């Protein structure tokens, strides 16, 4: 079977590997579509602290059941599924508290477990979620990043019709923007250096957009909020400037949610301003099963996440695709591989 395989730093190939044999509690799945995440790129460039190589890449996939393991229940050949890449233990304090995204023994495909960019994968049945027939493979592969964005937005506790600034219009920032519009009817500002991403989001959500290369993020934000600041600011990129801007853009008593985990250098926060204006700053990690179920319902209900899948490729193109993305080849919101 084909796998998208990382040999070493910046070395990806399409490698033929044996079909995995599912354990009794696992399900063999034929992958239909998979999305490239920023984590995959950081593994490719050896910039992730959990990175291992050689390794199969990938963790955002949709597919269909080929064969359930002998101890699984409720799954049959042909079932359409989204595969959650958070393999939780179910026994630690975090799992028992319903916070499996904070599992103390978590397994993460593409990092400390074999990745999912393969024709066939074997995953624990507990990681599978049913996809309705109305959700195509591409949209199914978008469930994972959409769940990440949804969890981040939820951590910010937006109010209906409130004001939200999203700093970063890559995949997660773009999806967060879509969620704020579709679910919360937010008054939105989005900032990014990729004008094509901004143009697409303006079309999908009506958000006010600002490109820091040609306009002031702070001035635009102040104008939109009559100088008051935003109720919620989501930081969805790795630039230190965005952390600095987020504090300045947030109204007194408002919230900043940091979705991005890696930054260009040691991140700094204006703590005196955080204190003076009683701001809240929160982190967000992955998602919960509840988030996944909600996201699947939202996509089934018409939230157009597939519009953000701007680039589609065959697995054979993986070496060139990863090289181009690592070099900063612009114009992408979300890149997907179509396996079949």
- Per-residue pLDDT tens digits for 161-177: 999 999 999 999 999 99
For residue 122, how many C-alpha atoms fall within 13 Å in the half-sphere facing its CB?
A: 15
Task: Give CA–CA dist 157/147, Å, rounded.
Answer: 15
Alpha-carbon separation of residue 315 from 56, 118, 319, 336 (angstroms): 12, 9, 9, 9
Q: What pLDDT is attached to residue 254? A: 97
Residue identified by tokens 């500002």 is 189
- Per-residue pLDDT tens digits for 17-26: 999 999 999 9
Q: Which residue has the higher pLDDT, 326 or 204?
A: 204
Averaged pLDDT, 8-16: 93
Superfamily of domain 2-130+304-338: Medium-chain alcohol dehydrogenases, catalytic domain (3.90.180.10)
Per-residue pLDDT band at 328 (split at 50, 70, 90): confident
Q: What pLDDT is attached to residue 262? A: 66
Per-residue pLDDT band at 42 (split at 50, 70, 90): confident
Task: Give CA–CA dist 132/144, Å, rounded.
Answer: 15
Peptide linkage before 54 cis (omega within 30 of 0): yes
Contacts of residue 331, Cβ cutoff 8 Å, sequence gap at least 6:
194, 196, 310, 311
Domain segments of the chain as ranges: 2-130+304-338, 149-283
Give the predicted TM-score (pTM) of the model.
0.94
Q: What pLDDT is attached to residue 98? A: 86
- Per-residue pLDDT tens digits for 132-151: 999 999 999 999 999 999 99
Averaged pLDDT, 120-133: 97
Q: Which residues pair with 12 in a beta bridge?
A: 6
Q: Do domains 2-130+304-338 and 149-283 have the same CATH topology?
A: no
Task: Give CA–CA dist 169/167, Å, rounded.
Answer: 7
The arrangement of strands across the sheet holding 187-191 comes to 208-210, 187-191, 163-167, 230-235, 250-258, 280-283
Superfamily of domain 149-283: NAD(P)-binding Rossmann-like Domain (3.40.50.720)
């Amino acid at each position: 079977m084909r796998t998208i395989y990382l040999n070493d730093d910046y070395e990806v190939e399409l490698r033929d590997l044996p079909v995995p044999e599912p354990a009794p509690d696992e399900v063999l799945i034929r992958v239909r579509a998979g999305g490239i995440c920023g984590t995959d790129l950081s593994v490719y460039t050896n910039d992730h602290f959990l990175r291992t190589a050689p390794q199969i890449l990938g963790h955002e996939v949709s597919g269909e059941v080929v064969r359930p393991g002998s101890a699984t229940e409720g799954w049959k050949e042909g079932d359409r599924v989204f595969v959650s890449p958070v393999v939780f233990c179910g026994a630690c304090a975090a799992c028992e508290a319903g916070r499996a995204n904070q599992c103390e023994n978590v397994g993460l495909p593409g990092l400390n477990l074999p990745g999912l960019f393969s024709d066939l994968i074997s995953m624990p049945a507990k990681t599978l979620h049913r996809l309705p027939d109305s959700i195509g493979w591409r949209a199914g592969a978008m469930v994972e990043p959409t769940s990440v964005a949804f969890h981040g937005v939820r951590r910010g506790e937006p109010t209906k019709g409130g004001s939200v600034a999203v700093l970063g219009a890559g995949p997660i920032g773009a999806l967060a923007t879509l969620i704020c519009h579709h679910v919360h009817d937010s008054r939105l500002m989005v900032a990014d250096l990729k004008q094509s991403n901004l143009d697409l989001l303006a079309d999908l959500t009506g958000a006010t957009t600002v490109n820091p290369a040609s306009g002031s993020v702070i001035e635009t934000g102040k104008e939109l909020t009559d100088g008051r600041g935003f109720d919620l600011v989501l930081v969805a990129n790795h630039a230190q400037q965005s952390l600095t801007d987020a504090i300045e853009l947030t109204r007194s008593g408002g919230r900043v949610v940091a979705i991005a985990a890696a930054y260009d250098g040691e991140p700094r926060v204006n703590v005196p301003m955080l204190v003076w204006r009683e701001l809240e700053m929160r982190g967000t990690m992955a998602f919960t099963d509840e988030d996944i179920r909600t996201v699947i319902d939202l996509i089934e209900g018409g939230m157009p996440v597939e519009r953000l899948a701007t680039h589609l490729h065959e697995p054979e193109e993986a070496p060139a695709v990863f090289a181009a993305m690592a070099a900063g080849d612009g114009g992408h919101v979300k890149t997907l591989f179509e396996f079949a």
